[in-house]
Every structure is written in structure tokens, then in C-alpha cells.
Structure 1
Amino acid sequence: MPLPRPTLSLKGRALRLLSGREHSRAELERKLAPHEEEPGQLARVLDELQAKDFINEQRVVDSVVHRRAGKLGALRIRQELQSKGLDSEKVQAALAGLKAGELERAREVWRRKFDAPPSDAAERGKQARFLAARGFDGEVIGKVLSRSPRQ
């Protein structure tokens, strides 16, 4: 019969989460709150981890943008960053950098899925919904789906 696993401390749980990927302080608070044994314990642990730079909002922003920019548009990435409880100024700065290459990223996502201009209105709607679901705005979608390959 296997021995019971020792329960991890709050700090151990936080470090385990951080070892997998970058997490914002708000994410860690949400995930670790059920394991807090005394009031204020979680805040102390997160303060300590933040002081040692284990929790860093800029790294979270950079990580999300790096992982998701090849597949998603700025609208979807903004939603994901906001759901992590990140500072709105950092989110806006990251999105400003994404906007410059938005059209090319949208074309690449579209090319991987379709690679042929829509033949009729139904196909155009299907392709537009595909791009919209990935967070590209209407102006970019219109340019991608236009007949001319480069605009």
C-alpha cells in the first residue's frame, strides 16, 4: 500500500504552478485561495514570491503574447491578458506591438486553414467567422478575404 503523499505548503503549491508556466498574482490568488489555512497567509506567500521575482507581470504578458500571437488576433489576446488580472497599461502596450503585424498574422492563420478565396457568400461568412473567433477585427478580416492577395 503506497504511503500518503505529504500535503504541499501554500508556497510549494505556488512554486509548482509557477514551474509550469508564468502566472499573474491574481491567477495564483484564485487558484490557491481554497488552500489558505489562515487569513493573510496567501498574501504573505505571494508578497514573498513577488519580492524574489518569481511573480512578474511583464513576463506573464510576454509569455502569453509569444504563445498566442501566431494563432490569435489582438482582441482575443487582450481578453486572455485581462482575464489574468494584469495591469491595463501593460496589456495596452503589448497590444500596440501586436497591431502592427495583425494583418500578416491574420493572413497566415487564414492560409493554414483555407488558402483559397471564398467562392460564394456562404464560404465568405464561414471564413470570416473563423477569423473573428480567433480575435481578428472586421477591418482585418475584410482585407484578408478580399480578392487581391496583397493590400
Structure 2
Amino acid sequence: MSSSPATALRNRALRLLARREHSRAELAAKLRGEAEPEMLSALLDRLAETGLQSDARYAESFVRSRAERHGVGRLRNELARRGVAEALIDDALTTLADEGGGDELARLRAVWQKKFGDKPQDAREWARQARFLQSRGFTSELIRKVLKEPFNDESA
């Protein structure tokens, strides 16, 4: 007994959502080749209406899972790249701050301590540590505070 294309598409979407939260844009990208755009859009609308897919829930889950290792800048950029609306990103980052995980400086220190542990001994090492921390989405101002700006590094 074969199922209809709409049922097959819905089942595939539910399997994807059962593994982890997905943004609407991610889910659409994964299902794009399997149905007509109208059918896919209708399915995504229905999943959102029933609460099976939620960009807000996705954003909160994403932030919670990565906040320990990344700065607000990177979290914001990655969520935007995944198609999450700016207002939902702001809400998720506000929730992080409200739950006590919003202390960016403390998170930066924890990432730095785990990766390096020792203050840079020269300008080259300072730059290497600063680049790593910037790639994690932390601001230059906070990086300088943690590294105590022992060297003049204009490239960071």
C-alpha cells in the first residue's frame, strides 16, 4: 500500500524533527527536492500551526547548546544564516541572559581557559589567541580584557 506524496513528505519532515529542532528554512532546504513548492509551504505552515516546528524553540535550543562555546556575535550570525528572524534571535539571546548564561565575559574566560590556559608570551601568541576567540564570536573589547592587552595588536 503506497502512501500519497503529501503523507510521505509529512512523514519525512516528522522524522527530521524527531531527531532535533530545525528552523523552517533548514527544514524547507532538506525537503525542497521532494515536493512542489506549494505542497512544501503548506506542510511547513501546518507544522508551525500545530507546534511541531517552531523557529523560536529552535533558536532557544540552538543558543542553549552552543552558548558555552561561542559568543553572542557568532550565535546571532549562525541563527540568521539558518533563516531565523531577528526578533526571535533577540528573544533567544535575552532568554540566555535571563537564565544566567548571558555573562559573555565569563563564557569567554571559560573558552580561553580550556583552549589556552596561559597568558600569551609574545605578540604572535597574543594574536593567535585573539583570532581564535574572535572566531568564536567574542568581541575585541572582551578579548582584550581577558588577554590584558600585553601587546599592541592592531590586526585583532
With the length of structure 1 as denominator, give the TM-score of the two structures.
0.85
Percent sequence identity is 43
2:140 aligned residue: 138
Q: What's the CA shift for 1:16? A: 1.1
Distance 1:84 1:147, change over 3 A: closer
Q: 1:124 aligns with which of 123, 126, 130?
A: 126
**Equivalents in 2 of 1:69, 1:80: separation in Å?**
12
**Equivalents in 1 of 2:92, 2:118: separation in Å?**
31
With the length of structure 2 as denominator, give the TM-score of the two structures.
0.83
Q: 1:54 aligns with which of 32, 52, 55?
A: 52
**Equivalents in 2 of 1:87, 1:118: separation in Å?**
39
**Equivalents in 2 of 1:78, 1:39: separation in Å?**
28
Distance 1:143 1:51, change over 3 A: same
Structure 2 unmatched ranges of 5 or more: 151-156
Q: Provide, for residues 120-145 of structure 1, a one-character-per-residue CA deviation record: whole Å limited to 9, x for no partner.
A: 10110111011011111100110110
CA root-mean-square deviation? 2.1
Q: What's the CA shift for 1:10? A: 0.7
**Equivalents in 1 of 2:141, 2:61: separation in Å?**
27
**Equivalents in 2 of 1:87, 1:124: separation in Å?**
36
**Equivalents in 2 of 1:123, 1:17: separation in Å?**
43
- Number of equivalenced pairs: 141
1:18 aligned residue: 17
